[in-house]
Structure 1
Amino acid sequence: MQEIKDRAASLAGLALERDAIFLYDALAKIEKDPARRSAFERIATSERRHAAIWEAKLLSLGEQVPASKRPSWRVRQIALLARLFGTRAVSDMVKALEGYEEGVYGAHGDVPEVTDIAADEAKHAEIWRELDTGKSNGAHRAALAETKAREPWHRAGNSGTLRAIIFGVSDGLVSNAALVMGIAGAVTASGQGSFVVLAGVAGLLAGAFSMAAGEYVSMRSQTELLERQIELERAELEAMPEEEEAEIAAIYRARGFPDDEAKAIAKRLMGDPKIALETLVREELGLDPEELGSPWGAALGSFFSFAIGALVPLLPFILLAGTDALFASIGLTALALFGVGAAVSLLTGKSAIYTGLRQLAIGAAAAAITYAVGSLIGVNV
């Protein structure tokens, strides 16, 4: 019985590690930032070591090592999104994948090979957290600054962008599907199309503008708060340069640098006030002063993502009429709900089928309830 369990754990572990090798190799090829590319290459090397452990385990059990298969759907989608939007945009998705691996290994904690591998996977998640907050070792910091100056487009992506788009589409889809179905259930077939289109367009515009306004105000307030924190740090740097230099040295000592080397790094950084401020902001506040977010960008992104989602249940009523439009809307909305749910799995690390069906059930319940309420009201035009 234990041998069967070990075999299952080894096969599952090997599949996870092969997926991870594919993903980190792809991220390393895409990434232009030397510090980030080096981190991805280190993780890929670690994943290859893990895969070799599982292969050896299978051989020790008398099993044949299976041939490499096509990477999983989730990993392929993350790699594709990284190619389109950059590695920063898929940060949350990769961290969710790391968390999923930790969970799988945790379920096989009685397998001797698991302990060290699980510890490494936890370290991978920590590397990602450091990359997200801009924390890199001293040797890479100059290269990072040079790359940012030369290739500013790498600052455009951040881990929250795709998340906001996915949830914006989801909000628009569910809310307008419920509205459209409610109106469709309330009016007679003869007048259904025009009223549904009118209500659907109104719901699309009202929801999109509301989302955009809310995102703008939220992002603007957050940006102003962060800018204030940065200005306070700038004032401290100008008023107390010796104390701030000591703080930088302390940061590098805490990272394992010898005292003399930490002081030398701090003095070198203090030679350029801009770099010194950036270092303090990153290390003390966990912020990137060049990536505070754009209120207008957030507003426009929310507007268009909500509008795209809201258009899906409405489109059949614009192109078709009567029951054809209703059934087409139901079918198209169901497919879109499942697709959005599957996309959410890239962020959560859950099964794409599970999250797709969950999203479909939630949207279907909302639409069914509003359709039933509309039918009970029975407005006859």
Structure 2
Amino acid sequence: MTGSAEAHHRHRDVSGGWLRPTVFGAMDGLVSNLGLISGVVGSSASAHTIAIAGMAGLAAGAFSMAAGEYTSVASQRELALAEIEVERRELAHNPDDELAELTAVYVGRGVEPELAREVARQLSRDPDQALEIHSREELGVGPSDLASPMVAALSSFGSFAVGALLPVLPYLLGGTAFWPGLLLALAGLFLCGAVVSRVTARSWWFSGLRQLLLGAAAAGLTYGIGALLDNALS
């Protein structure tokens, strides 16, 4: 019976891993470009103009997402590396103080002082392991956890571009009506919402329907704004 309870259940990835940023990037592309195209359609623009506007929105949004994600992740990584380097120097120059610090962490978690010191001592034998443990305990992140700014930028660019492509795709294939792109975008939003339910406590249909309704509301509002501006400026 020992260990049977642990062997028969699994936890979901509460951090979201790669799934969350990828799906939300696609959602962002879907909603923003659907809204842009809806506004242009509301202004009675031609299919040619709508296609150009949609592709411009795709490119601008994807590059903006990539640049923002790169800058954000790079800044966070640089700060973490600087603080990890401080910890590395402390481990090299003040090993006894760092050992006492780690011992105090384990004592604070309920480990008996002598046992806590012995565990801390054994874990501190390997400098790389010691750095990893101290960084996680004091900074909440270890050297192996740091994300790549380039990977983050490329994944954001790709997922946004895929999402933004759906509402404009029928126009690129020669279509002239708005409804095929609208249906394609709403279906994509429902799918993205359903996929996100894998890292939430919501059911797939609730998450999908919620995202579909939000996207439809954005499209409706921007269509109305485009129509109003068209009338006001004509």
> TM tier, shorter chain?
0.7 to 0.9
Q: In structure 1, how many angstroms separate the alpha carbons of the residues matched to 2:117 and 2:227?
A: 74
- Mapping for residues 95-174 of structure 1, pairs under 5 Å: 159-174=16-31
User: What is the Cα deviation at residue 175 of structure 1?
Assistant: 0.4
Q: Paired residue for 2:123?
A: 269
Deviations 1:328-353 (A, max 9, x none): 11211111111122223223312322
User: What is the Cα deviation at residue 377 of structure 1?
Assistant: 3.9
> Do the aligned partners of 1:193 and 1:318 also contact (CA within 8 Å) in 2?
no
> Do the aligned partners of 1:179 and 1:370 also contact (CA within 8 Å) in 2?
yes
Deviations 1:267-301 (A, max 9, x none): 22232222111111122222121111111111111
> Do the aligned partners of 2:73 and 2:149 also contact (CA within 8 Å) in 1?
yes
| TM-score, normalised via structure 1 length | 0.56
1:352 aligned to 2:204? Answer: yes
1:337 aligned to 2:194? Answer: no
Q: In structure 1, how many angstroms separate the alpha carbons of the residues matched to 2:126 and 2:207?
A: 49
Q: Unaligned 5+ residue runs, structure 1?
A: 1-38, 48-78, 80-86, 93-157
Q: Unaligned 5+ residue runs, structure 2?
A: none
Q: Paired residue for 1:91?
A: 13
Q: In structure 1, how many angstroms separate the alpha carbons of the residues matched to 2:122 and 2:228?
A: 74
- Mapping for residues 1-381 of structure 1, pairs under 5 Å: 42-45=5-8, 91-92=13-14, 159-188=16-45, 192-323=46-177, 326-378=178-230
Distance 1:251 1:377, change over 3 A: closer
Q: In structure 2, how many angstroms separate the alpha carbons of the residues matched to 1:346 and 1:332?
A: 22
User: What is the Cα deviation at residue 242 of structure 1?
Assistant: 0.7
| Paired amino acid for 1:364 | A
> Do the aligned partners of 1:180 and 1:196 also contact (CA within 8 Å) in 2?
yes
Aligned partner of residue 303 in structure 1, secondary structure = helix
Deviations 1:48-96 (A, max 9, x none): xxxxxxxxxxxxxxxxxxxxxxxxxxxxxxx9xxxxxxx9xx512xxxx
Q: In structure 1, how many angstroms separate the alpha carbons of the residues matched to 2:61 and 2:194?
A: 23
User: What is the Cα deviation at residue 42 of structure 1?
Assistant: 4.8
| Paired amino acid for 1:187 | S
Q: Relative contact order: is structure 1 or structure 2 higher (C-alpha 8 Å, sep ≥ 6)?
A: 2
User: What is the Cα deviation at residue 256 of structure 1?
Assistant: 4.3
Number of corresponding residues: 230
Distance 1:167 1:208, change over 3 A: same
Q: Paired residue for 1:141?
A: none
Aligned partner of residue 287 in structure 1, secondary structure = coil
> Do the aligned partners of 2:16 and 2:199 also contact (CA within 8 Å) in 1?
no
Deviations 1:153-207 (A, max 9, x none): xxxxx7442111111111100000011122222235xxx2211110011000000
Query: Greater CA deviation, 279-288 or 158-167?
Result: 158-167
User: What is the Cα deviation at residue 228 of structure 1?
Assistant: 1.4
Task: Quote the RMSD (CA, aligned, Å).
Answer: 2.4
Distance 1:378 1:257, change over 3 A: closer
> Do the aligned partners of 1:182 and 1:371 also contact (CA within 8 Å) in 2?
yes
Q: In structure 1, how many angstroms separate the alpha carbons of the residues matched to 2:207 and 2:16?
A: 20
